[in-house]
Amino acid sequence: MEQAAQQYLNTFPVATFQKLLLYWFERNMRQLPWRKDQEPYKIWVSEVMLQQTQVDTVIPYYERFMSRFPTLEALAEAEEEEVLKYWEGLGYYSRARNLHQAVKEVKERYGGRVPDNRKEIASLKGVGPYTAGAILSIAYGQPEPAVDGNVLRVISRLLHIEEDIQKAKTRHLFEEIVRHLIPKGRASYFNQGLMELGALVCTPKSPHCLTCPVQEVCRAYQAGMQDQLPVKGKKKKPKTVKIVAGVLMEKGHVLIRQRPDNGLLAKLYEFPNVQWDDQEPDETISRYLFDMYGLRTATVEQWPSVQHTFTHLIWEISVYRLHLAEPLDKLNGFVFPQEEQPFSAARWERIEDLERYPFPVSHQKIKKEIWKRL
């Protein structure tokens, strides 16, 4: 064992902790749809969905996704746009794209069987150390650590570790520690128990120490330090970006476009929009639509603004309903950008067909506003 990990585990009653945690987990685990069996594909999908997203939010998405893509082959054979449609609303869409590419690779390279060793599984797109550890331990019962935010918090309190959990070095230390805490033959329940303890008992704010099953061995509790741990480096404040979006509607059609192939929310659909600073926002979007697509528009009214927060960014979107100032003969088909642009052509789509396209959450809110006003 590495020296740093050894130092924290010296004198820690490992066997008592294992017994207390497993006893509690076996009696208190939540009945979650992905706990019905240990199929690696299902564990994988659930773990990807659960990254950055709460369990209650994930459950209906997981069930819908599984009824459409019940097997790895079904997902590998699907079109990416349909996969994104089933992910619509869960956010962090690169997770869905990576999962889709990775299952295709598993189908082609490994005959559809999810690899059962860290080297191969960690080489798949989007599979980081946590997801690899979760699949290997939960689905295959291997003694591999799966250290997510819950586990970082629990371990830092349990062993009273004051290292900054945002540092890669600390994550490595915690993985090493968990590797030595896993009881023989019980990796699946032990790792799930640690995560469950973090989700239900050892919560970020006001941990429930008085009813905690591992209280008697918890060093932070003994030192009264549970509210000071874990130590987290200061987060940068997200930057606010002002955007103006135009809902250009004409004779039952609306102008939408697909986002570029790479970057934030890649390949999802949206209403045309652009950043604005000091000009009036509705003038900015009208000028943009003219410069970009050669469309002359006029403002009809302002709709409620939409705000969306990403990890490092806040979008504040002013929304304007527009119409064409110069009618067009033909409203079906594409409108091509005037010059080389990162965006593909915009398209006139019938309003009733908008549901066919995956939109990010912020633009789904704009779409809902259309339905409200029809």
Residue ranges binding ligand SF4 (CB under 6 A): 154, 157-158, 201-202, 207-209, 212, 214-215, 218, 220-221, 226
Tokens of 110: 């490994």
CB of 194 to ligand SF4, least distance (A): 10
Contacts for 28 with CB less than 8 Å, ≥ 6 apart:
196, 200
CB of 234 to ligand SF4, least distance (A): 23
Instruction: Report the C-alpha gap between 272 and 346 in whole angstroms.
Output: 8
User: Is 47 a catalytic site residue?
Assistant: yes
Of 39, 47, 73, 316, the active-site residue reads 47
Q: Crossing angle for the helix pair 187-200 and 168-181, nearest 10 degrees?
A: 120
Is the Cβ of residue 106 or residue 220 nearer to ligand SF4 in the bound state? Answer: 220
User: Which residue from 283, 2, 338, 353 is spatially nearest to 170, judged by alpha carbons?
Assistant: 2
Q: How many residues does the chain have?
A: 374
User: Which residue from 365, 265, 268, 350 is spatially nearest to 318, judged by alpha carbons?
Assistant: 365
Tokens of 234: 């200061």
Is the Cβ of residue 158 or residue 254 nearer to ligand SF4 in the bound state? Answer: 158
Is the Cβ of residue 211 or residue 311 nearer to ligand SF4 in the bound state? Answer: 211
β-strand 313-324 against 239-250: which pairing, if any?
parallel
Tokens of 299: 């403002």
CB of 225 to ligand SF4, least distance (A): 8
DSSP, residue by residue, 98-127: HHHHHHHHHHHHHTTPPP-SHHHHHTSTT-
Catalytic residues: 47
